Amino acid sequence: MPEFPTLAKLAEDLESGRTTARKLVEACIARIADPSGEGQRAFIHVDKDAALTTADAMDALRKVKAAPSRYAGIPISIKDLFDIKGQTTRAGSRALDDSDPAEHDAAAVARLRMAGFVVIGRTNMTEFAYSGIGINPHYGTPKGAWNRAEGHVPGGSSSGAAVSVLDGMAHGALGTDTGGSCRIPAAFNGIVGYKPTQRRVPLDGSVPLSFSLDSIGPLARSVSCCAILDAVLANEPVTALKPRPVRGMRLAVPTTIALDDLDAEVAETFERALKSLADHGAIIERIEMAEFHDIGPMNAKGGFAASESYAWHRYLISAKGDVYDPRVAVRIMRGEAQSAADYIDLLNERRSLIARVNARIAPYDALVLPTTPNTPPKIADLADDKAFTRENIRALRNCSLINMIDGCAISLPAHRQGDVPVGLMLAGAGGSDRRIFELAAGMEAVIRV
């Protein structure tokens, strides 16, 4: 698979005149249209004409030194969960086919446009974002990076987002993350995915899964790329990212739940990455996180995702439940059985969980753990519902720990070239986003030796 440039390199090429926004957009459109590629499954809609018109506008602005940012003209993809003015937001479903077109861009989309990024199209996703696997029976399932001849899952729910970046159909992607939906597809495709502290990026204009847990984040080719997009999404200044030296990093490996039932390749890659970090001077401590044991019982009745998604879907699913993916519908309907008292208990238990975990991890710079315990399963092997459920729960397990503690986290590729993709996750308490980016930038190259 070819190597595609980072956002910084693309910005340099645009500034120097080595390329233009139109050329970048035309190249992405050609890759999407390639019948031998995954574009027809990775994208639900491609906005070719608008993308080319926007690219021309950004080129004209750059000529008169009026580009809105140095990244103006770079094409990005948008997960089908977000409103784009004049388009129907389907959230990877057929149940919203007859919805009115959006009157406004989602807040996150508007911020990317203000920086001059070119929206190239809407990417495929798990229906209503309700799975970490990435299978979609309505629009097809894009094949992930690993062993495409066999066909392995791309990870979800931001499946098309990851594949669009991987295959150079976009140079960055807007995704969401409720229990790993940026980080899982990043891990399964050997790219970088970021889940920010939830409150930093507004959810306005996106179809909710769980408004308590939903976070809006980027998928891209490097830590610095994700940091750039994250700053734009959070409406913060885009400043140079200063990698922290690995020597002296204090990293905690949670031994509770996070290291259970790892595939052999995941365990081997993770331990090799830890050894490399230690060899470069990182201080690594394995710690018990007893608090993680509380999360399973909290989610026994479906947790926030079931209760909050049911509240949003209850009328739609009553009217159009027959067109829902049955694997999604059954999870949403778990929320019907939750009482108001159950939900209030969840809110109180989560507040306690966050406080206790934050106190435990305060002495460390970050937690480090495998992004997923499993490698990407074959699509064909998940036709069986039991197999699908087992692998979906495994894929979501580690990432969802961080959403439940209101943290921030990044997934970095940790595997060697040619090996099955494995992600290493770096996570911290809510509000520690900049530190996580600096740590990740410092260890990015070190963990793949």
Q: d(Cα 237, Cα 115) in Å, to the nearest integer?
A: 11
DSSP state of 376: P
User: Closest by alpha carbon to 156, among 102, 81, 106, 226?
Assistant: 81
In the set 77, 79, 164, 222, the catalytic residue is 79
Hey, what amino acid is at 179? G
Q: Name residue 424's beta-bridge partners.
A: 370, 412
User: Closest by alpha carbon to 437, among 282, 180, 258, 222?
Assistant: 222
Angle of helix 21-33 versus helix 48-63 axis, rounded to 10: 160
Strand ranges (E), 293-443: 366-370, 408-413, 423-428
Phi, psi of 155 (to 5 degrees): 85, 150
307 as an active site residue: the answer is no
276 as an active site residue: the answer is no
Q: d(Cα 351, Cα 113) in Å, to the nearest integer?
A: 35
Q: d(Cα 444, Cα 437) in Å, to the nearest integer?
A: 10
> What are the tokens at 203?
């959810």
Q: Name residue 121's beta-bridge partners.
A: 46, 77
> What are the tokens at 381?
């092997």
In the set 77, 131, 181, 224, the catalytic residue is 181
In the set 77, 93, 131, 157, the catalytic residue is 157
Q: d(Cα 72, Cα 122) in Å, to the nearest integer?
A: 19
The angle formed by the CA atoms of residues 162, 132 and 178, to the nearest 5 degrees, is: 90
265: left (phi over 0), alpha (psi -120 to 50) or beta: alpha
99 as an active site residue: the answer is no
Q: d(Cα 143, Cα 37) in Å, to the nearest integer?
A: 9
Catalytic residues: 79, 157, 181
